Amino acid sequence: MVAGTIVVKGESFVLVPQREYQQMCDLTQELLAGDGPPLPKPDAKGNMPAVAYMRAGLARRLLRSRRQAGLTQVELARRAGVRVETLCRIEKGKMTPSTLVFSKLQRALELAQREARHAA
């Protein structure tokens, strides 16, 4: 890590490149998020809210796959050609990706996993 410090009004600040800062933020979010969004609880009749359940399940699988591939949200989003904000919302279970976005993410993850196997 390349870092520097500056003092402003008597207070020290650490400067790091933006990419490294984003990676630290991504890692912090991942650690706080655990395994992804919680699965919704069934109602009194045992019925599950289908869309919420699907979103949470997809988010959990995507998060696990991204981690296994060794990618940050920023790296996966860049490789897939989607916005980081979009990927973040999907991983939090707040939105359902379109078929196009899902395909882009899937392709990027498959390529990253292949690259990792060839590098090993």
CATH of the domain at 64: 1.10.260.40
Largest CA distance in the chain: 61
Which single residue is written with the structure tokens 């790296």?
75
Task: Provide the residue range defining the domain that includes 47.
Answer: 4-119
- Read off the DSSP letter of residue 34: T
Q: What is the pLDDT of residue 14?
A: 82
Per-residue pLDDT of the chain (120 residues; tens, 9 = 90+): 677 889 999 988 888 888 887 777 666 665 555 678 888 888 898 888 888 989 999 999 999 899 889 899 999 999 999 999 999 999 999 999 999 999 999 999 999 989 888 887
The pLDDT of residue 38:
84
What pLDDT, on the 0 to 100 scale, is given for residue 17?
85
Instruction: Please give the pLDDT value at position 102.
Output: 95
Integer Cα distance of 82 and 31 in angstroms? 23
Nearest to 25 by CA among 81, 80, 85, 97: 85
Q: Token pair 């359902």 is at which residue?
A: 96
- pLDDT score at 83: 96
**Phi-psi region for residue 81, left (φ > 0), alpha (ψ -120 to 50) or beta?**
left
Predicted local confidence at residue 27, as pLDDT = 63
User: What are the structure tokens assigned to 23, written together?
Assistant: 């990676």
| Tokens describing residue 52 | 């919420």
| Count: domains in the chain | 1
